Structure 1
Amino acid sequence: MKSILKIPMNPIANLNEELKQMTPLSIALGHENDVFVLLVEEQIPLIDGCFPATVTEKSYRYQVIHLKDGQKKVLDLPKETWNYHYIQPIDNEHILLVCARSYYHDAQNIEENARVYDENGCFIRSFCLGDGIEHVYVTKNQEIWTGYFDEGVFGNYGWENPVGQSGLVGWDASGGKKDSLEEDEEYFIFECLALNGIDDGGICFFFSTDSKIGVRREGLTSYYSPEDIYFRAFAVNGETIVAHQGRGERTLFELQREGNEYKTVRKIELMKPDGKPIEPQLVNNRESKLLFLDGDELYMYEAKSGA
């Protein structure tokens, strides 16, 4: 039985007023220790109760909350017909909103499910990042990385040759494809469960089936085996990974690399000021940090190297 370290935490922000009228969809850590929260006024219904829509006939109101240096800025997008799932900052003046799904109607009609806005809410450009997106991550140098779930890998929504068939793809800030794992035959990424950046500019990811952690730098990937754990978000600092298994889970797992393996050294519980553990509804990661939304409170935890 691994030891459990309980760490007291204080919220970095409260969204009580914003969540009275809006529902949180996605949270993201920015490049400068700032935070983004994507909200929608009304939940978009599933097609036949099962499948997420891409473009809707009815328009919906979204808001983006940007928290930086103790200040809160609200960006209002009152009439959107895209079904957004993810938010990421591109630079200090632009954000990226992404729908997880995209229809391939034909070669001349491919839905552009990634849309860039400036800080005033003005639409700048759009492009396609493919269907079946599980994770989106934008690096400091404005590279966009997308990890895909099974429908993005095998094809659906009209895609016979899906963009995400390798499970992981890198793009430039305008949606031009820069990198993927298509020529990597060592492992098959059935679904990319977690995705993060490394402070040296590399990308780190975790995928199912083979249950491997991949670290990709300059077109080359190294693979490592974690010890009996699946996770959907993680912080990475040197040889240390702190992993979170998914929505509602309250236990973190700290792993240390030993050769080609990551071994669990302890469990961590983050405790709220009232003494109860954080039970996040939404989680996001950027390099060494994890961001959690529990109710209307945001918490941030930073992994320590070799701690």
Structure 2
Amino acid sequence: MTNRKGDTEESTRPTADRTGTGSRPGTRETPLTPYARLPRRFHDHHIAHSTVDAFGRAHWLLAAREPGPGRGAMKPYDAVVVTVDTDGRDHATELSAVRARFPLIDALPDGGFVVADARSRRSEQHVQIFDVLGRESWAFRVGDAVEDLLADGDGRLWVGYFDEGVFGDDELSHPGLRCWSAEGEPLWAYEAAEGASQIYDCYALNVAEEAVWVCAYDDFSLLEVRPGGAVRQHANELEGATALAVHQGRVTFIGGYGDERDRLVDAELRPEELRPYASGRLVGPGGGPLGHRRTVSRGPRVYVQEDPYTAWTVLDISAPGV
């Protein structure tokens, strides 16, 4: 398994020839804020995946053991989703017969869940929809090499793909970014206009209420997908960011190549370009460096979860003073 964000993120991306805008000695350090924590009574479970949904709820997909590796058929397993609401209360939903070997999870507005396998063959229905009681409702395909799967507030599934899908033999993955209904109906696929950027590897995906934002290899232009599917391209010289936040004409990028993996860059969003104006470094709530992590980008917020993945922290650029 390669190129899974949060697993070996810093070592699986293609190597760039240019480093872009980096942080400088003496620039600011911005600490993350604690957000949600997996209740301790579940710490003996294997954390198969975790996310924060469109409504700010944190979810952990837990199993008795790590799903088996490889691409052959595997025996379905039972799992539990632990949800921590925005008020701190938690509850659990048991899921039956999960099939994903490299699972990604998100919550749906009706209280159900979507679980997808990041890797799949064209013969496999690798996306499962579970109802509020944890029963599978249906299954379908969205393509191989899923980098990100984020449900929006209306239950649409936005799927970004990494290079092994874009250049692979599964045509569903070739656009680099697609939108699906929760019933598996294809709603939209990215198609580059003449002279526009291609999506070869979806590095950063932000699903907000008013738009979907994508920063992708290889030119890293910021693509703004508006309701209805119209795409606006903003030229961007910053390379390698793996998460981004957007708020009132400001875009904040997190990440980069090599020793810039904790880089933080603020840019002004202009009609056709981005204008960087400040840089720094993202640090943990206590001021220490960040370790291996997974990220979820939603509007003005980037949620960050470090190994061992039992807690979420957040950078919220809409908060006063951030």
Please give the range of the TM-score, normalised by the shorter of the 2 chains. 0.7 to 0.9
Letter in 1 for 2:186: K
Give 3-state SS (helix, strand or coil) of 2:172's partner: coil
- Residue range with higher mean Cα deviation, 176-185 or 75-84: 75-84
Kindly indicate whether residue 94 of structure 2 is the aligned counterpart of residue 94 of structure 1: no
Give 3-state SS (helix, strand or coil) of 2:166's partner: helix
Q: Which residue of 2 aligns with 1:134?
A: 147
CA RMSD of aligned residues (A): 2.7
Q: How does 1:229-240 map to 2 (within 5 A)?
A: 229-240=239-250
**Equivalents in 2 of 1:271, 1:55: separation in Å?**
39
Q: How does 1:148-297 map to 2 (within 5 A)?
A: 148-156=161-169, 159=170, 162-182=171-191, 184-185=193-194, 186-200=196-210, 202-217=211-226, 218-245=228-255, 249-264=261-276, 265-273=278-286, 275-294=287-306, 295=308, 296-297=310-311
List gaps (5 residues or longer) in structure 1: 48-52, 105-109
Aligned positions, number: 290
Q: Which residue of 2 aligns with 1:304?
A: 318
Contact 2:95 2:130 in 1 (8 A): no
Q: Which residue of 1 aligns with 2:80?
A: 63
Contact 2:96 2:134 in 1 (8 A): no
Q: Which residue of 2 aligns with 1:80?
A: 98
CA apart distance, 1:302: 0.8
Q: Which residue of 2 aligns with 1:12?
A: 35
Structure with the bigger percentage of strand = 1
1:36 to 59, 81, 89: 59
Contact 2:251 2:268 in 1 (8 A): yes
**Equivalents in 2 of 1:171, 1:89: separation in Å?**
15
- Residue range with higher mean Cα deviation, 218-227 or 166-175: 218-227
Letter in 2 for 1:263: R
**Equivalents in 1 of 2:83, 2:119: separation in Å?**
25
Give 3-state SS (helix, strand or coil) of 1:82's partner: coil
List gaps (5 residues or longer) in structure 2: 1-22
Identity score, percent = 20
**Equivalents in 1 of 2:73, 2:193: separation in Å?**
34
Structure 1 pair 147–65 and aligned structure 2 pair: CA distance change class (3 A) = same
Q: Which residue of 1 aligns with 2:125?
A: 112
**Equivalents in 1 of 2:221, 2:264: separation in Å?**
18
**Equivalents in 2 of 1:151, 1:183: separation in Å?**
19
Residue-by-residue CA offset, 1:84-118 (whole Å, 9 max, x unaligned): 421112214111111112212xxxxx321111112
Give the TM-score taking structure 2 as reference length. Answer: 0.80
**Equivalents in 2 of 1:29, 1:167: separation in Å?**
22
Contact 2:30 2:280 in 1 (8 A): no
**Equivalents in 2 of 1:19, 1:101: separation in Å?**
27
Contact 2:54 2:151 in 1 (8 A): no
Give 3-state SS (helix, strand or coil) of 2:99's partner: strand
**Equivalents in 2 of 1:100, 1:230: separation in Å?**
21
Structure 1 pair 18–114 and aligned structure 2 pair: CA distance change class (3 A) = farther
CA apart distance, 1:136: 1.1
Structure 1 pair 168–10 and aligned structure 2 pair: CA distance change class (3 A) = closer
